[in-house]
Amino acid sequence: MAFDATYIPRRASVATRVLWRAGQWDEAVATLAPDALAERAEILVDRYWWRLDDAGAAAAAITALAPSEPVLAGHFDAQLAYARLLFGLDPLPDDAQRARDGFTAAAADPRLTGWATFWLGVLADNIGGDPDTATAAYGQALAEACRRGDALLESYAVRHIGDHLLRHDREQGIIQLRRSYHLRASLGARPQTAAAARTLAGELDPGPEADQLREAADLTARELRLTWLMPDHDD
């Protein structure tokens, strides 16, 4: 989920960016120089988000990054804390505060404002049970995405805005979910596109389009081992 979350992808090589975007995290890490601490941490945190395995590698990469980039490291650590909470992966007693503090500090960093604000939104939505705060955060994240030309952040913001819209304007909600799907597909972001396809399929009326989207999501989930998108995953 973290792809294009900071200035990091713009510094990474084309090969690294393409592999990362395609969900080939191990191959992307293999292209990195030994001193590419920020890139390594972000890729491994992203890998953990989708596969929910090898948390130790992500945590070790964050620890290595912390002395030189404490705010960025805190942002990544907050993502791990949020994942533990969201997926029930033996969360630590302070994970909610740890996530909130990490994202709040990152939101004050101009490099991280848009994505950290988005993460504060999902934290409020899915952990805090505060949809009003979440909605405001998604709007701010969308504005920042448009300002920076960050199409992936835009796709995340409109996906969650769409989810909220479904409750009172179903047509507009589906339009936003479809927009998210097309943005992700245009970037070649395979894990994110699979997630968007699954979400959109779940809101469409039964029919060929929903079936095709669900089939594509299932194929990608199996190929890339996207744990929580697997067809047989117990939500």
- Split the chain (235 residues) into runs of 10 and give each run's mean pLDDT: 48 85 96 94 97 96 97 97 96 96 97 96 97 97 96 97 96 98 96 98 96 97 96 63
pTM of the model: 0.93
171 within domain boundaries: no
38 within domain boundaries: yes
pLDDT in tens, 55-94: 999 999 999 999 999 999 999 999 999 999 999 999 999 9
DSSP sequence for 170-212: HHHHHHHHHHHHHHHHHHT-HHHHHHHHHHHHHHSPSSHHHHH
Is 73 in contact with 65 (CB distance < 8 Å)?
A: yes
Residue 13 confidence (pLDDT): 82
Is 226 in contact with 194 (CB distance < 8 Å)?
A: yes
216 within domain boundaries: no
Q: What is the DSSP letter of 169?
A: -
87 within domain boundaries: yes
36 within domain boundaries: yes
76 within domain boundaries: yes
Collapsing DSSP states into helix, strand and coil, what is residue 49? helix
Q: Provide the domain limits for residue 85.
A: 1-112
Residue 2 confidence (pLDDT): 43
Residue 233 confidence (pLDDT): 65
Residue 225 confidence (pLDDT): 97
Number of domains forming the structure of the chain: 1
152 within domain boundaries: no
Residue 112 confidence (pLDDT): 95
47 within domain boundaries: yes
